[in-house]
């Protein structure tokens, strides 16, 4: 539209009324029949990381890989090569080249058939926008559209349309999609040989497809190189070196990183062609590689998910929905899957107790058998440590003290506080209410929400909203606990026992102090590790997508090593912790006010007899329906656990009693043959429980 005003001024000065009428008529036609840019505007949606690199792209509604590209996005020599080969007078003609048109018509008249074409880049662009059969009428309309494009748009804008729509074989359109598909690189990094290939391909994209006709493609490339060398664009040395470069023989895979997050954002994009995320590309690549390597060491159905959050902003800088998107159940986004957190919610129980001044990290608390009505919780190893500090109880993830504290804090209150902070909780049956088993994982929560909650501890109790895309950085945090309570938790969790292989030798310190907590759900179904520094929070989940048990896999030996490896890949700088004004510094319980020295739950029955009466005998592990994977070379030892009953307990495998040395304390069974097995436990009172498990051989 820019040039119509200039032309109208010219006709008004001396062009005459007839010319003015013609111009007005053309202007009316231009407005009534504008170029159809629908194909150009309908591009593949691309999801980008924080560095601007593609995480994942999606095909258009017609199934094409059509990535937007401009002349600024490609190697400058490619653009020069394209113009030199296709349309040397591109920057001077008005859309139709009179010299080329005259030459083509003259050759046609002399030979009686078309000898050479006169199609300019602008005319090719018009044909790409509105494809038609190759007829004389279509060619005339194409020239008219080319003139119209030149009036409306600059040469650079027209070139951008061509670079986005040029065909490159199959469902690949545009130079960016072609460069990624055939060379695995962005078009700004093209070599002379690659540039020549991408100049040649649009002339006959199916006949020259790299995955089918390498020889024909090499010949077409060489023709382009020879012609542009004749124009002086490249010298003989570049020409000779380019001839030696191999041509591609297959399509490469387009970038496919953080595919679950990309799909999630694409579904909510409402037609956006570009989605900018906060994902740190190098960190994301590392997490994905770590997951792939780790999965090779686990049983076939095992999977994992991970999330990394920048505490100050809530930005998600790494997102692993599954270890392998193309594996069975790999398309399930396990970051958003509801799972039992095991012990991973315990810090929030203690946090509320710290906030209420019921406890201090140095407060003494009993770890012994205790009965809550008909509920008698047991520690993971079914042993008790006696009187210990709250610090030790949380660091060792003891169940009994946590339930005792939750009994005072209130499960309804804890659940309400978690929900107010933005976490979605699921209690299974409709209408079910939070109860004391909440302390041990009796709730469904996602890795996304759990990581978000832990980021709140790192932020002095203020839970951030997780932010995936650019432009969503307003602060709308919700307070889950006081800053003092969060400081206590930070201090306690920094002393959690490190996973095997990550301990500190005397005089050797890890690069950063990580506050972390692990969790293992009932039946070894879910293994968790959530940790934070001043700068970042990392959440890791390991398990099976179908929720089936994984005997012997728990948070500390499965998820925690991954957590520490991710942290070791990140900047070790850690923001200093401000000391709250009302913090109580104490080395032991003796330094505390009297009311904080010892915690004793009021009105609870601590007797062993009461526990035995209240809790029926039940096999705790392995739960019914467990699938155990065996190998032909490795023997596994499966622990046998039961709740309730009157000791001593006897264990039977398919009716055969385990040897006497294995009956008590920590019985262990070594399965050897595939098939179905019935496990039975019998207590001293004659009560029994049964569980059927399946054994299978894996490679």
Cα angle, residue 529 at apex, residues 528 and 534 outer, rounded to 5°: 150
Residue 465 CB contacts under 8 Å (≥ 6 apart), including other chains: 314, 422, 452, 476, 477
Burial tier of 1 (Cβ tally within 10 Å: 0-12, 13-18, 19+): exposed
**Residues 6 or more apart in contact with residue 686 via CB below 8 angstroms:** none
Q: Select from 543, 46, 526, 545 the least CA-distant residue to 331.
A: 545
Which residue reads 């007839």 in tokens? 18
DSSP secondary structure string, 359-412? Answer: --TT-EEEES--BBTTB----TTS---EEEEHHHHHHTT-HHHHHHHHHHH-HH
Is the bond leading into 487 cis (omega within 30 degrees of zero)?
no
Tokens 């990581």 found at? 451
408, 353 in Cβ contact below 8 A?
Answer: yes
Residues written for the chain: 699
Task: Examine the residue annotation and report whether 86 is marked as an active-site residue of this protein.
Answer: yes
Residues 107-123 as b or e (16 or more Cβ within 10 Å = b): eeeeeeeeeeebbbbbb
Cis previous bond, 424, omega within 30: no
Where does 390-533 show beta strands of DSSP type E?
A: 462-463, 478-479, 515-520, 526-532
Q: Which two tokens stand for residue 97?
A: 């080249």
CB 304 within 8 A of CB 566: no
- What is 124-183 written as a DSSP string? HHHHHHS---S-HHHHHHHHHHHHHHHHHS-HHHHHHHHHHH-B-STTEESHHHHHHHHH
Block residue for tokens 């496990």: 679
**Distance (Å, rounded) from C-alpha 488 to C-alpha 288?**
33
Q: Report the C-alpha gap between 594 and 113 in whole angstroms.
A: 107
Is residue 644 classed as helix, strand or coil in its secondary structure? coil
Annotated active-site residue 173? The verdict is no
CA distances from 411 to 348, 509, 536 (A): 11, 38, 29
Give the dihedral of Cα atoms 264, 68, 317, 444; nearest 10 deg.
Answer: 0
Distance in angstroms (rounded) separating the CA atoms of residues 409 and 347? 12
Catalytic residue among 340, 343, 482, 553: 343
- Distant-in-sequence, close-in-space partners of 44: CB < 8 Å, separation ≥ 6: 57, 58, 59, 60, 64, 65, 66, 67, 177, 273
φ, ψ (nearest 5 deg) of residue 283: -65, -40
Burial class (CB in 10 A: 0-12, 13-18, 19+), 195: buried
Catalytic residue among 86, 130, 301, 687: 86
Angle, alpha carbons 642-644-647 (nearest 5°) = 85
Q: Which residues are catalytic?
A: 86, 343
């Amino acid at each position: 539209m820019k040039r119509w005003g200039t032309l109208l001024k010219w006709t008004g000065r001396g062009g005459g009324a007839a010319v003015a009428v013609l111009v007005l008529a053309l202007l009316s036609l231009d407005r009534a029949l504008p170029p159809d840019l629908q194909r150009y505007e309908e591009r593949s949606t691309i999801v980008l990381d924080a560095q601007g690199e593609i995480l994942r792209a999606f095909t258009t509604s017609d199934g094409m890989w059509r990535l937007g590209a401009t002349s600024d996005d490609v190697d400058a020599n490619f653009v020069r090569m394209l113009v030199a080969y296709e349309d040397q007078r591109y920057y001077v003609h008005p859309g139709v080249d009179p010299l080329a048109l005259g030459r083509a018509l003259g050759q046609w008249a002399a030979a009686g058939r078309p000898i050479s074409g006169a199609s300019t880049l602008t005319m090719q662009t018009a044909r790409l926008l509105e494809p038609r059969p190759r007829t004389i009428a279509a060619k005339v309309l194409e020239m008219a559209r080319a003139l119209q494009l030149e009036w409306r748009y600059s040469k650079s804008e027209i070139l951008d349309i061509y670079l986005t729509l040029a065909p490159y074989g199959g469902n690949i359109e545009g130079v960016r999609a072609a460069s990624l598909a055939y060379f695995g690189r962005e078009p700004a990094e093209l070599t002379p040989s690659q540039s020549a290939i991408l100049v040649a391909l649009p002339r006959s994209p199916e006949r020259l497809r790299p995955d089918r006709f390498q020889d024909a493609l090499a010949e077409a490339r060489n023709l382009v190189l020879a012609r542009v060398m004749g124009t002086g664009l490249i010298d003989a040395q570049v020409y000779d070196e380019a001839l030696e470069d191999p041509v591609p023989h297959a399509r490469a895979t387009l970038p496919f990183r953080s595919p679950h997050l990309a799909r999630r954002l694409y579904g909510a994009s409402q037609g956006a062609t570009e989605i900018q995320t906060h994902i740190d590309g190098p960190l994301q690549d590392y997490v994905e590689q770590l997951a792939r390597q780790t999965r090779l060491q686990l049983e076939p159905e095992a999977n994992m998910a991970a999330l990394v959050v920048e505490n100050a902003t809530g930005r998600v800088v790494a997102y692993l929905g599954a270890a392998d998107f193309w594996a069975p159940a790999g398309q399930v986004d396990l970051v958003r899957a509801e799972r039992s957190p095991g012990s991973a919610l315990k810090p929030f129980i203690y946090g509320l107790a710290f906030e209420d001044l019921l406890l201090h990290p140095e407060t003494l608390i009993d770890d012994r058998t205790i009965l809550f009505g008909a509920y008698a919780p047991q520690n993971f190893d079914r042993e008790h440590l006696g009187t210990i500090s709250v610090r030790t109880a949380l660091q060792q993830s003891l169940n009994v003290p946590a339930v005792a504290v939750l009994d005072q804090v209130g499960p309804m209150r804890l659940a309400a506080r978690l929900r107010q902070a933005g976490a979605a909780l699921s209690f299974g049956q409709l209408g079910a209410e939070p109860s004391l088993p909440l302390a041990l994982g009796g709730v469904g929560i996602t890795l996304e929400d759990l990581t978000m909650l832990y980021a709140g501890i790192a932020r002095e109790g203020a839970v951030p909203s997780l932010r995936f895309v650019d432009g969503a950085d307003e602060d709308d945090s919700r307070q889950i606990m006081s800053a003092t309570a969060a400081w206590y938790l930070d201090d306690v969790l920094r002393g959690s026992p490190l996973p095997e292989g990550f301990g500190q030798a005397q005089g050797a310190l890890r690069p950063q102090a990580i506050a972390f907590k692990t969790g293992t759900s009932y039946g070894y179904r879910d293994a968790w590790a959530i940790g934070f520094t001043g700068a970042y929070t990392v959440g890791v989940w390991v398990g099976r997508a179908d929720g089936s048990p994984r005997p012997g896999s728990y948070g500390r030996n499965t998820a925690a090593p991954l957590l520490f490896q991710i942290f070791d890949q990140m900047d070790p700088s850690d923001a200093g912790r401000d000391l709250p004004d009302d913090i109580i510094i104490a080395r032991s319980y003796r330094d505390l006010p009297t009311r904080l020295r010892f915690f004793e739950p009021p009105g609870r029955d601590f007797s062993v007899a009461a526990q035995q009466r209240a809790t029926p005998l039940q096999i705790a592990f392995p739960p019914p329906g467990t699938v155990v994977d065996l190998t032909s070379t490795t023997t596994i030892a499966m622990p046998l656990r039961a709740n309730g009953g009157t000791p001593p307990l006897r264990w039977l495998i398919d009716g055969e009693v385990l040897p006497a040395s294995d009956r008590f304390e920590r019985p262990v069974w070594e399965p050897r043959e595939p098939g179905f097995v019935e496990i039975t436990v019998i207590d001293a009172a004659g009560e029994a429980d049964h569980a059927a498990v399946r054994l299978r051989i894996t490679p």
